[in-house]
Amino acid sequence: MHFHIITLFPEVCEPYTNSSILGRAQKTEKGKGAKSRGKKISVSYYNPRDFSTNKHKKVDDRPYGGGPGMVMQAEPVLKAWQKAVGRKKDQKRIKTLVMGPRGKKFETKMAKDLVKKYDHLVGSSGRYEGIDTRVQKALKAEEISIGDYVLTGGELPALAIVDSTARQVPGVLGEFTSLEEERISSNEMYTRPETIEWKKKKLKVPKVFTSGNHAEIDKKRAR
């Protein structure tokens, strides 16, 4: 799957998508003979300033009708989208999302559906008071929210969606037979050593987790 992020601050996002699991998923794995594996995902960035006709590369202006703050102009964002996926032959395999606090709440089910239905996912990250609404209308984009709170910009929501969706791409998490969210969730997790000391108190792993009785462990985790 190819992720395309439209943002004024690609330098903020790139370190995250180039690290850890997402970073490895973007690399071709070299093996012996036929064991070489191609990239599982790709992540590309597009800065609206690169498509501004303003000599100062300005991409915001005052809102019509008045109001506080500034609004990102439509044309630079639309041109960035065109550069990203505008010439792709199968437009039905492209999904465009606009980050916004009033949008549909993003969930794991949506991430799974995105992987099944689309090859390209475009995330438009707004700044200031948001993006000119004509962008959403022109691209038939869906407004998406990651929670009931407001952030300074759309970069964090876009990264959260990329991270969650990439996990659903086969092979990104390696050879695991199931994803973490499909396993029994637990509010208790422990690892070695079995006993640690903190402020003269010994903190031990509950015996059920060291018993080897997986039925009892699952019951404990399910509480």
The confidence score (pLDDT) of residue 28 equals 85
**CA distances (Å), origin 30, targets 26, 34, 37:** 13, 9, 7
* Architecture of the domain spanning 2-166: 3-Layer(aba) Sandwich (3.40)
The confidence score (pLDDT) of residue 25 equals 96
> Could you give the CA distance from residue 38 to residue 32 in angstroms, rounded to a whole number?
13
17-63 pLDDT, tens digit each? 999 999 999 998 776 555 556 899 999 999 999 999 999 999 999 99
Amino acid identity, residue 197? E
- Say if CB 94 and CB 85 are below 8 A apart: yes
The pair of three-digit structure tokens given for residue 203, joined into one six-digit string: 């903190």
Please give the average pLDDT of every successive group of 10 residues along the chain, which has 223 residues.
98 97 90 68 98 95 93 97 97 97 95 98 95 97 95 96 97 68 69 95 95 89 76
Amino acid identity, residue 171? G
- Say if CB 156 and CB 128 are below 8 A apart: no
Cα angle, residue 175 at apex, residues 173 and 178 outer, rounded to 5°: 70
The confidence score (pLDDT) of residue 122 equals 98
The confidence score (pLDDT) of residue 177 equals 45
201 pairs with which residues across the strands?
198
> Could you give the CA distance from residue 18 to residue 14 in angstroms, rounded to a whole number?
6
Domain boundaries, the chain: 2-166, 184-222
